[in-house]
Every structure is written in structure tokens, then in C-alpha cells.
Chain A
């Protein structure tokens, strides 16, 4: 008891302020999920509500300046994720969340998955404008892939009927939300491509929450739309909702009504277009014929009677032809004379004459040459014979025949005239009248 009394007594304000400090320090940033209830928006413009779950609740406020960042319109019963800080409102002694943002529960995850798939498929080229197919002007048949009970199909048919009464439409019934939806829509697209002669597919669904439209963010569905050889139009949700199917479709209409407006041909417009063309063609053709007839008539006047004209042409032709003939023969006569004169001149310079004279000269020269050659050789023979007799008399060979011999030093072959030309052991060769002898010097005297 004593201890109790010794504690300093605080005012309510003091205590409250210190609790507030404690809370603000401990919870500067919280993320809490719960259901909105007791939502109020007084004239101050701030949003007051209570977040609750099965077992607890906490008061919350979203001040007016923060509200412009909201992606949703908060309403009672909504499951949200609230981010903010804890504070305490001293006048009431109530702690509360000062909220910065409110998001739909699960939206963050879904949104992130959506963005990732969108990015991946875009990178892969599924949204390429170059892959988009033309929407036919007058399809033989349009097939709606949709739920047959929804308002969407009704909206489409109403607009279609207005543009083209009794246009051939077909409904391929599928679930447009829930886990079965993507598979059923894919099957429909594949079946139509395989089995049907339809020329346009419209994926049709009314608006809904992000979760409601989730079937149209299926990756396999995106691929089925991309693979379809029949053009695919998406007509899903309202203006602000975009799905993956919208990006990959050949044409995106924001609503079923606007899809019908875009793809169902306007019968009256087409009819009048064709009629106008037909009328313009006929009018133009009439004008052309009238004009051509007029021109023929006026030319006829200028030309006059064509048979007279023809006769005059024929006369001119005959005269011209005679003139040409005369001129030609005159020119030809002159040329013939010139050629004859030239031929005579040419004959005078025939190289045959020159050739005969030259040949005679050549034969005379040839005979003289033969005679001179013969004389020369006879003279030479005589001279050689007399020289040979003289040579024979002085030949060393005739001396050898008389028993003399010739000694030479080897290997030079120098004649030996005196003994001092030799050395003991030197090689010598002795030439006899018949044969040679080699020897070594053994003594010199």
C-alpha cells in the first residue's frame, strides 16, 4: 500500500499522452486485414470505420487527403488490407489506426500475378499488333463464346439486331467465371477452329470484380486466342477493366454492346454504299457513251467523206512509187560506169607480170652461184693436196719410223731434250712408232 501511495499522481492528460507515445513508438507501421464496418463520412470528409474479424475490432480513420490514392470505394462488409500507424486520440482516449492506404484483400497478389503474366506474354510477342487479324467486314457467321443467360449476350444480340436484322449468330455456351471457365472457353475456341465455319469469335462477358473476370487472365486461354486462325474479339467487362484476353485478342471492345457495334455489319449502310456505287457507275457510263457519240459526229464533220480522202491517198501513193523507181535506176546507171573504169585500171596493175620478171632474174642468179661454188671447191682441193705432201715430210711420225723415240715428262707431257729436265723417280712416257712405254727415272747421267 505504501508503495502505491508513493507513486506520483498524474493527470489524465499526462497518462494518456505517455500511452500515446508508447503506442506510436511501438507501432509506427502496421498492415492489418479485416472487414470494414460502421463506415462513416462526416462533413469533415475524413473516413471513419471499424476493422473487425471474428474476435476483435479496432477503430480506424482515413483522412481526406489520403483518399485520392484509393483504388476502391470502401463499403461496409468489405475485406480489406489496411496499412498505417497506431495512434491515440486523446480527447476520447481511443486508440486507432491512422490509415494510409486501403486495398481489397488479395488484390495485391492477383494484381502482381496479372502484371507478371502480362509482361511475360508481351515479351513473348502474344500482343504484337503484327499478329492481329483483320475483322471481316461481312462475316458469314459470328459465334459468341459466352454464358447464354447473362446480360452480356442479350446486350450483344440487341445491338446486332439493330445493325443487321437476322444476322447469323451462334452462341457457344461456356461458364465465364469460376475455375471451370478458362478450360471451357479454350475448348470452345479450339472446337470452333477445328469444326466450325464461323468467321468471327466474340468472347463475351459483362463487368465484374477483378476476381470475377479472372478467367480471362488465364495464360492457356491467352495462348488459345493467339493460336486461333478465326479472328477473336474480346468483349469483357466495362470500359475500365482490362484482361489478358483483351491484350491478345485481335480486337478489344470494352463492352458486349460496343463489340456488336464494331463487328456486326451495318446493313443499311452497306446496302446504300453498294447502290450508290452502282448508280455512279451507270451514270458515268451513260455520260461516256453520249460523249463518245458526240465526238464521233464532230470528227466526221472535220474529215468529210472518207472514200474521197482514200482516193487522194491512193493517187499520191502511186505517184510517189513511180518517182522513187526513176530516181533509183538513174543512180544505178552512174554507178555501173564508175565500176568498169576502176576494173580496167586495176588490171594494168596486176602483180602477176611483176612476178614473172622477178622469177627469171632469180633463175639466172641461181645458175651463176652454182658455177662459182664448184670452181671454188676445186681450187681448195688442189691446195690441200700439196700441203699434205709437205706435212708428211716433216712429220715426227716419219722420224719415229726410222727408230727414234720421243720422251715426255708426265703428267705435263713436256718434251725431254736434256737430262737435267728430269728428276730421279719422275714419271716419263716414251712414244715409239707403234705404242707407248711408261717408266720411272732411276738414274740421270
Chain B
């Protein structure tokens, strides 16, 4: 299976589920699809778990943009810093 993104994988998973439930495939074909489906379930779960992070604020430091954790409560006068 070529490496797909989450969206394509989920769409393929739903497609496989429907095709299998129609029951028009041979036993061999449906076993093959079942294996692909199970792999997609694992892949999608992994992708969801990987999507974990925090809110970063990009700050200009020495001419480069660097992420720092964003603190919404603190007023950050970034515009001025930008024009330095």
C-alpha cells in the first residue's frame, strides 16, 4: 500500500468496509481487503495520536522565525519587535 494521507486512508477504509459488507467478493479477495482495512485502521489511529502538540507563537529572533510556547494571557507586542 502506497503511503497515503489520513484523509485518503479514511476514505479507503470506509470504501473497503462498504464493499466487504455488500458481500460480492470471493473469499480470497475479501481476505485481502480485510487485511488492507485493518492496516488502515491502525494507520488512521496512529495519525490521530501523532496529531498532538501545543500552540506555538512564531517570533523573529536573529532574523529567523522561531516557535515559542504561546501564552494567551500575556500581552506580546510582536509588531514592534518585528520592526527592529
A interface residues with partner B (beta carbon < 8 Å): 136-138, 140-141, 147-149, 153-154, 157, 164, 166-175, 180, 184, 191, 195, 265, 267, 270-271, 273-275, 277-278, 280-282, 284-285, 288, 292
> Which residue among A174, A180, A274, A288 has the maximum number of chain B CB atoms within 10 Å of its CB?
A274
Q: Which 9 A-B pairs have the closest CB atoms?
A: A168-B53, A173-B78, A137-B7, A278-B41, A138-B6, A281-B37, A169-B55, A274-B44, A170-B56
A-B contact pairs, 13 of them (CB 8 A): A138-B6, A147-B79, A148-B70, A149-B76, A166-B54, A175-B79, A265-B51, A273-B14, A274-B45, A275-B41, A277-B13, A284-B20, A285-B30
B interface residues with partner A (beta carbon < 8 Å): 5-7, 10, 13-14, 16-17, 20-21, 23, 27, 30-31, 34, 37-38, 40-41, 44-45, 47-48, 51-59, 65, 67, 70, 72, 75-76, 78-79, 82
A267 CA to B57 CA in the complex, in Å? 23
Question: Quick one: closest A residue to B13, CB to CB?
Answer: A277
A138 CA to B47 CA in the complex, in Å? 9
Q: Which of A180, A281, A288 contacts B38 (CB 8 A)?
A: A281
Question: Quick one: closest A residue to B8, CB to CB?
Answer: A137
Report if A281-B34 is in contact (Cβ < 8 Å); known contacts: A154-B72, A170-B55, A292-B27: yes
Whether B79 and A180, one on each chain, are in contact in the complex, defined by CB atoms closer than 8 angstroms, is: yes
CB distance from A177 to the nearest CB of B (A): 11
Q: Which of A138, A175, A191 contacts B51 (CB 8 A)?
A: A138
Question: Quick one: closest A residue to B72, CB to CB?
Answer: A154
Question: Quick one: closest A residue to B81, CB to CB?
Answer: A173
Whether B51 and A173, one on each chain, are in contact in the complex, defined by CB atoms closer than 8 angstroms, is: no
Main secondary structure of the interface of B (DSSP, over half): helix
A278 CA to B75 CA in the complex, in Å? 46
Whether A284 and B21, one on each chain, are in contact in the complex, defined by CB atoms closer than 8 angstroms, is: yes
Whether A168 and B48, one on each chain, are in contact in the complex, defined by CB atoms closer than 8 angstroms, is: no
CB distance from B61 to the nearest CB of A (A): 13
Question: Quick one: closest A residue to B42, CB to CB?
Answer: A278
Complex contacts, A275 vs chain B, CB 8 Å: 41
Complex contacts, B72 vs chain A, CB 8 Å: 148, 153-154, 157
Report if A167-B51 is in contact (Cβ < 8 Å); known contacts: A280-B17, A281-B20, A284-B21: yes
Whether A169 and B6, one on each chain, are in contact in the complex, defined by CB atoms closer than 8 angstroms, is: no
